[in-house]
Amino acid sequence: MYKKILLICGLLLFPSIIFAGSITIKCPDSIELNKEFVCSLNGNSVSGVTGIDMKLSVSSSVELLSVVVDSNNWQGDGEKGDIKLFTADTFKDDFKICDVKLRMKEDSGTLLLSSIILYDDNVKPVQIPAISKQIKTSEVVTTTTKKVENTTTKKANSEAEVTTTKENEKPTQKNDNTSEEPVISSKYLVDIQIKNYELEFYKDVFEYTLIIGSEKKLQITPTLEDSTAKYQIIGNNNLKDGSAITIKVTSANNESQEYVINIETQKEKKDYKWLFIAIISGVIIINIIRIIRSKVKKK
């Protein structure tokens, strides 16, 4: 009898459901430069998903054309990479999210999903780590044919030309002042370290979102790809929800690149659900014990 009471109490006090979900990015094996291609975003969940909220961004070498949401499953859109979807159903196992139309401007680039929040069937938000996908164009192998000249004929022609022009030829002075190659300096970072926080950094992704506590200023340490470049941190004061920190990198040849960190603050939510469950459970346990005692006294 007491074992049953403990089992009932455990079920009442700990009615938790383990949530498990993931998102995968699938791109075609063959991608051509400056031609449109489609990558698909797919999800998988054991407990069930009713909503998705995430940020889609690409590196400068990739052009984001559009986000096509699977309208058979979802309501919402992904305009400018801000994907916000919901459904009246609950998706489990494998399900389609959307297609992303892209164009490669260079040989390689990065597709990044960040600030990913999945909502379970209780409309409870669960945040999962950022996901990145390296994209490369297909390698094209070209074959060139080298023309072989008749060396004997070439030598005879060159000797005749030298004999004809040698008498009138004036000695020329060799110019040893060769032009120097321009200095090449990088305008990129290789890492951004933020004290007490982890930022999943990619060299060619220039915008990020960071959720912080109550700090008004962050301790940021950028790492330059080229030691001859310089950087400047802008907006790292009086931080609040919606603030933006900009790290501007300027190379030795005066080219610049900016990295932007959008700030979101943690909002405290008062949740009285567990307090209510604890009170109800306590009342039920007291009543069960009273019933058992009354039956024991009667016997």
Looking at residue 248, which CATH number applies to its domain? 2.60.40
The phi, psi pair for 286, rounded to 5°, reads -60, -45
Same domain, 50 and 127: yes
Could you say which DSSP state residue 107 is in? S
Same domain, 25 and 124: yes
Which of 43-47, 72-76, 137-141 comes out lowest in average pLDDT? Answer: 137-141
Query: What's residue 252's pLDDT?
Result: 94
Q: How many CB atoms lie within 10 A of CB 83?
A: 23
The phi, psi pair for 42, rounded to 5°, reads -125, 150
Q: What is the pLDDT of residues 179-192, one digit of tens each?
A: 455 556 899 999 99
2: left (phi over 0), alpha (psi -120 to 50) or beta: alpha
| Residue 91 placed within a domain | yes
| Residue 182 placed within a domain | no
Higher local confidence (pLDDT), 188 or 15? 188
Residue that finishes a domain, picked among 136, 159, 178: 136
Indicate which CATH number applies to the domain containing 86: 2.60.40.680
Query: What's residue 256's pLDDT?
Result: 96
Rounded average pLDDT over 200-219: 95
Residue that finishes a domain, picked among 73, 103, 136: 136
Taking the C-alpha atoms of residue 75 and residue 91, their distance in angstroms, rounded to an integer, is 13
Residue 59: which of 117, 104, 115, 23 has the closest Cα? 104
| Residue 241 placed within a domain | yes
Query: What's residue 89's pLDDT?
Result: 76
Locate tokens 């030829």: which residue? Answer: 169
Higher local confidence (pLDDT), 245 or 128? 245
Same domain, 48 and 121: yes
Across the chain, what does the average pLDDT equal? 79
Which of 82-96, 168-182, 277-291 comes out lowest in average pLDDT? Answer: 168-182
With a cut of 80, say whether residue 236 has pLDDT above it. Answer: yes
Same domain, 131 and 232: no
Quickly state the pLDDT bin for 199 (edges 50, 70, 90).
Answer: very high
Query: What's residue 12's pLDDT?
Result: 45
Instruction: Show Cβ contacts of residue 62 under 8 Å, excluding neighbours closer than 6 positions.
Output: 102, 103, 104, 105, 109, 110, 111, 135
185: tokens are 């300096």
Same domain, 30 and 132: yes
Residue 40: which of 78, 92, 80 has the closest Cα? 78
Taking the C-alpha atoms of residue 118 and residue 48, their distance in angstroms, rounded to an integer, is 10
pTM of the model: 0.46
| Residue 276 placed within a domain | no
| Residue 165 placed within a domain | no
Same domain, 196 and 132: no
Range of the domain at 249: 189-265
Query: What's residue 86's pLDDT?
Result: 84
The phi, psi pair for 122, rounded to 5°, reads -100, 15
| Residue 82 placed within a domain | yes
Same domain, 119 and 202: no
Query: What's residue 262's pLDDT?
Result: 97
Same domain, 31 and 132: yes
Largest CA distance in the chain: 139
The phi, psi pair for 294, rounded to 5°, reads -65, -35
| Residue 151 placed within a domain | no
| Residue 297 placed within a domain | no
Which of 96-105, 131-140, 184-193 comes out lowest in average pLDDT? Answer: 131-140
Same domain, 132 and 40: yes
Same domain, 25 and 119: yes
Same domain, 47 and 114: yes
Taking the C-alpha atoms of residue 268 and residue 265, their distance in angstroms, rounded to an integer, is 9
Percentage of the chain beyond pLDDT 90 is: 33
Total residues found in the chain within this entry: 299
Residue 54: which of 27, 31, 74 has the closest Cα? 74
Query: What's residue 269's pLDDT?
Result: 54
Domain count, the chain: 2
Q: What is the pLDDT of residues 36-67, one digit of tens each?
A: 999 998 888 877 788 888 888 888 888 989 89
